């Protein structure tokens, strides 16, 4: 077993570093000159070509990196058959024109609409108790205010404080009743609008089942498809760019 700095290495690694670590004095010590890489190194040093060698190495590395990038680009391109499938997927998602969190918002709206009748009835009943009936909360507060008139003659300071409290309570009750009435009016929809909402939910559910599981996954999938199709459609232009760079590096 061979170890370098405590790590196990194979014979290939050991051979590649041995020449830099061990100086052998033996009958065949001149065998190193038979190594092709050593011969080139000696020749370059003898001719003083180290700077040119480094420039050549840098140019080669740059060209090799460009070649690897081109190979990765070609490997990433979908086949024409795959592109046809991707285009169909893209068109299906694009036609839907879905947006982030649309399904969540629509589900909440649908839940309210599905129970709109009971919600409207409850809201109307509460509005009646708060402001509209003869015995409503607002009427009771007004009665309380009339009763405090007696205290107003006896202790104006305290009466004024209590009157202000009753007025604030009446204002809050009126605001609450108005909010309830507005809420009930907003969730009332006709049958056609409700049917459209359910159709839209079914469409989004189909997209999530095919490309999801979440709507955000569907939109991310569409973006990936667009990038793949753009790369495929512009492949010739990108290859020309690679060729230009290749030509420049070989000059």
- Residue range 6-23: mean pLDDT, rounded: 80
Close Cβ partners of 137 (under 8 Å, ≥ 6 residues apart): 129, 130, 131, 173
- The residue to which tokens 């409290």 are assigned: 165
- What pLDDT sits at residue 41? 82
* Residue 204 near residue 106, CB atoms below 8 Å: yes
- Residue range 98-110: mean pLDDT, rounded: 89
203 pLDDT tier (thresholds 50, 70, 90): very high
Reported as a single tens digit per residue, the pLDDT across 25-52 is 666 656 666 677 777 888 888 888 888 8
pLDDT > 90 fraction of the chain, expressed in percent and rounded: 21
Determine the Cα–Cα distance for residues 126 and 162; give it in Å rounded to an integer. 26
- What pLDDT sits at residue 115? 73
77 pLDDT tier (thresholds 50, 70, 90): confident
- What pLDDT sits at residue 24? 60
Q: Which of 13-17, 55-59, 74-78, 167-171 has the highest mean pLDDT?
A: 167-171
Q: Which of 98-112, 121-135, 145-159, 211-225 has the highest mean pLDDT?
A: 211-225
Q: Kindly report the number of other CB atoms within 10 A of residue 238's CB atom.
A: 14
Distance from CA of residue 75 to its chain's centroid? 26
Average pLDDT value for the chain: 84
Determine the Cα–Cα distance for residues 30 and 141; give it in Å rounded to an integer. 114
- What pLDDT sits at residue 25? 62
Q: Taking CA 227 as the corner, what is the angle to CA 222 and CA 231, rounded to the nearest 5 degrees?
A: 145
User: Can you read off the two tokens belonging to residue 187?
Assistant: 């969730």
* Residue 145 near residue 163, CB atoms below 8 Å: yes
Reported as a single tens digit per residue, the pLDDT across 182-192 is 888 777 677 78
- The residue to which tokens 């009446």 are assigned: 170
Q: Collect contacts of 237-243 with beta carbons under 8 A, ≥24 apart.
A: 238/73, 239/70, 242/66, 242/69, 242/70, 242/73
- Residue range 101-128: mean pLDDT, rounded: 83
User: Can you read off the two tokens belonging to residue 158?
Assistant: 């305290």
What DSSP character marks residue 26? Answer: S
92 pLDDT tier (thresholds 50, 70, 90): very high
- What pLDDT sits at residue 118? 76
Nearest in space to 73 (alpha carbons), one of 194, 185, 228, 226 = 228
**DSSP strand E in the chain: where?**
2-4, 7-9
Reported as a single tens digit per residue, the pLDDT across 206-242 is 999 999 899 999 999 999 999 889 888 888 888 888 8
* Residue 218 near residue 208, CB atoms below 8 Å: yes
């Amino acid at each position: 077993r061979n170890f370098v700095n405590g790590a196990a290495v194979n014979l290939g690694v050991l051979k590649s570093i041995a020449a830099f670590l061990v100086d052998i004095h033996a009958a065949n010590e001149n065998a190193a000159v038979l190594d092709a890489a050593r011969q080139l190194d000696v020749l370059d040093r003898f001719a003083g070509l180290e700077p040119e060698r480094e420039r050549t190495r840098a140019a080669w590395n740059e060209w090799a990196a460009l070649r690897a990038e081109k190979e990765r680009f070609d490997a990433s391109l979908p086949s024409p058959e795959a592109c046809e499938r991707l285009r169909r997927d893209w068109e299906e998602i694009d036609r839907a024109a879905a947006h982030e969190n649309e399904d969540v918002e629509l589900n909440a709206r649908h839940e309210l609409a599905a129970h709109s009748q009971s919600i409207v009835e409850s809201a109307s009943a509460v509005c009646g108790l708060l402001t509209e009936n003869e015995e409503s909360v607002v009427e009771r507060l007004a009665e309380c205010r009339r009763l405090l008139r007696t205290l107003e003659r006896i202790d104006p300071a305290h009466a004024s404080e209590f009157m202000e409290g009753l007025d604030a309570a009446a204002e809050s009750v009126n605001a609450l009743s108005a909010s309830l009435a507005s809420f009930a009016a907003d969730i009332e929809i006709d049958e056609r609008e409700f049917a459209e909402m359910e159709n839209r939910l079914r469409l989004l559910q189909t997209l999530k089942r095919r490309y999801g599981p979440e709507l955000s996954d569907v939109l991310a999938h569409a973006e990936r498809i667009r990038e793949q199709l753009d790369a495929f459609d512009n492949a010739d232009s990108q290859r020309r760019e690679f060729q230009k760079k290749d030509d420049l590096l070989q000059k």
